[in-house]
């Protein structure tokens, strides 16, 4: 079975045709439990998310702030494995039909085996991978297998990326480009700011791929601001925090569904 890179591209194109940004939700696999994480993905899609990133929990998530680190700790203590991540992708995709990507650091894939990981992700119906810490110059093996299995390779660019570097990164990527709006780790912020808009402009000058912005968006107002200049708005910590703050799992699902609804309205106000 081939992966769903085409579904990812058509989903982003459909949002553009509606003159809006796509809403991309991030949730870690295995949080609060494997089953609970699958239900959370279904809830954000029911609320209005167009695309979902499933996080592969890691013991040393260098780019993630305290909220996602807490969720990763819960998932790892619960014994989450790569098989559970694949199951999350499969069941979430079968239930929702939206593109599901995996966001992961490189080390777990390297240990698991690139061919095995890409084959299993494609078989589960995955659309691709976001690889925040894989240097482009070391990505040939990954890209070869991802392409073979119909998976997108999404690289992350940052405000510190020079223009020549941006061109190298975007030429190697597929699906979309993940623009990190600020230097630093993930987490909700009071403002997403001009740095992100400048980065999107510089990135667009190098590629025809959609440019989606993450790191810091937590409410409809910020989603609308980012939707004004980006092809997609990526929200993670706000969804995770909604689950962490909820008194029980049912309340957590209601909270993420409701937040997705607010954000979905936000991305339509450009």
Catalytic residue ranges? 53, 64
- Fill in the DSSP letter of residue 184: S
Pairwise CA distance, residues 56 & 47, whole Å = 23
Tokens 């299995």 sit on residue:
149
Pairwise CA distance, residues 68 & 36, whole Å = 16
Q: Which two tokens stand for residue 197?
A: 């808009």
Q: Is 160 helix (H, G, I), strand (E, B) or coil?
A: coil
Q: Which two tokens stand for residue 74?
A: 């819960």
Pairwise CA distance, residues 189 & 67, whole Å = 12
Pairwise CA distance, residues 130 & 123, whole Å = 17
CB 123 within 8 A of CB 94: no
Pairwise CA distance, residues 92 & 240, whole Å = 17
Residues 6+ away with beta carbon under 8 Å from 81: none
């Amino acid at each position: 079975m081939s992966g769903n890179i085409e579904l990812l591209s058509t989903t982003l194109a459909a949002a553009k045709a509606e003159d809006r940004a796509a809403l991309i939700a991030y949730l870690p696999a295995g949080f609060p439990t494997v089953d609970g994480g699958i239900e959370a993905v279904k809830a954000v899609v029911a609320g209005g998310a167009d695309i979902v990133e499933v996080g592969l929990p890691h013991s040393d998530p260098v780019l993630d702030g305290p909220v996602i680190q807490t969720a990763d700790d819960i998932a790892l203590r619960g014994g989450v494995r790569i098989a559970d991540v694949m199951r999350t992708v499969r069941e979430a995709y079968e239930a929702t039909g939206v593109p599901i990507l995996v966001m992961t650091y490189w080390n777990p894939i390297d240990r698991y085996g690139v061919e095995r990981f890409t084959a299993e992700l494609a078989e589960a119906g995955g659309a691709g991978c976001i690889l925040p810490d894989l240097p482009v110059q070391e990505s040939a093996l990954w890209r070869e297998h991802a392409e073979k299995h119909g998976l997108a390779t999404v690289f992350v660019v940052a405000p510190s990326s020079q223009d020549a570097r941006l061109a190298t990164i975007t030429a190697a990527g597929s699906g979309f480009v993940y623009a990190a709006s600020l230097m630093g780790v993930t987490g909700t912020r009071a403002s997403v700011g001009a740095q992100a808009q400048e980065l999107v402009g510089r990135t667009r000058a190098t590629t025809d791929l959609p440019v989606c912005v993450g790191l810091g968006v937590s409410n409809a107002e910020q989603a609308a601001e980012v939707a004004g200049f980006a092809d997609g708005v990526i929200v993670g910590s706000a969804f995770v925090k909604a689950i962490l703050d909820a008194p029980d799992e049912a309340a957590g699902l209601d909270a993420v569904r409701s937040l997705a609804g607010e954000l979905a309205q936000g991305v339509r106000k450009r």
